Amino acid sequence: MPNRLGKGLGALLAGADIPVVADASTRINSDAGTQIRIDSIEDNPYQPRQDFDIQSLEELAASIKTYGLIQPVTVRPVENGKYQLISGERRLRAAKIAGLTEIPAYVRTVDNTLSLQMALVENVQREDLNAIEIALSYQRLLDECSLTHEELSQKVGKDRATITNYLRLLRLSPEVQIAVRDKHITTGHARAIVSIEDTTLQSKLVKEIIEHPLSVRQTESLVKKYLADSNTKKTKVKIKLSDHVVNFSTSLSKKLNAKVKVNKDLSGKGAISIPFASDEELNKIIDLLSV
């Protein structure tokens, strides 16, 4: 298997059976795998990649017309003499544009789970995959393949912190995720925005970034300002105390001859404070409370 596929995909492919197929849709070529008719290859239902740049595909198609398809796609046999694509959809699409009727392919016998893993791992190792597609691929590997974060880290060759940072992007509003996908904002912008939990505010920030436009550093500063303003507003929220608590505060204030304050937040947590101006006043309060 060529090294360009990365150690993650190479590890997945290692040991997979390579059946010798001898029907009308295939032709064995020892140098480039098996030649398979394009019309016998079905789409990959696990394809994590959503967007294919048409100009890039046409450029690859022109190259394929001149030099042929250098790197084979990977498929697995399914029913009725058909094959299901595992990896290489961009190459397959470009080959169709180039007018090829058959292409070289590595044929692997794998189950649905391993097929999904191979497709996802191959895709996340591509440099042109956007951050949201990578994040979705990581999440699918965790959910559908029942991988732990440690196992995922080993398969894709990324440390756990990097994987966590990508997964956090899925907490962004759909509008922000689309902006990342369409390259209106960078991954750096997105990572700054994800610190804000309010998805409405996230979308508002995206509009500001695009309209002005703002650098990642400017976005980080703006996010800090929003967070600071939000915290200030939270501290200013006044919680109405029940009559029982108010009566207690008033009664205790009279008893101690000091202004007793009861503060409570939205969660129900709070504190009772009793001010004093000297050690003498403090001792009086202690004596009164000790009775």
Q: Is 197 a residue of the active site?
A: no
- Report d(CA 106, CA 60) in Å as an integer: 20
Rounded distance, CA 262 to CA 191, Å? 39
Count of beta carbons in the 10 Å neighbourhood of residue 98: 19
Q: Output phi, psi for 92, to 5 deg.
A: -65, -45
Whole-number Å distance between alpha carbons of 137 and 125: 11
d(CA 85, CA 118): 11
- For residue 37, give Cα distances in angstroms to 34, 42, 83, 118, 125: 10, 11, 10, 22, 27
The first and second tokens of residue 257, run together, are 């001859």
Given 42, 58, 89, 281, the catalytic residue: 89
Write out the catalytic residue numbers: 89
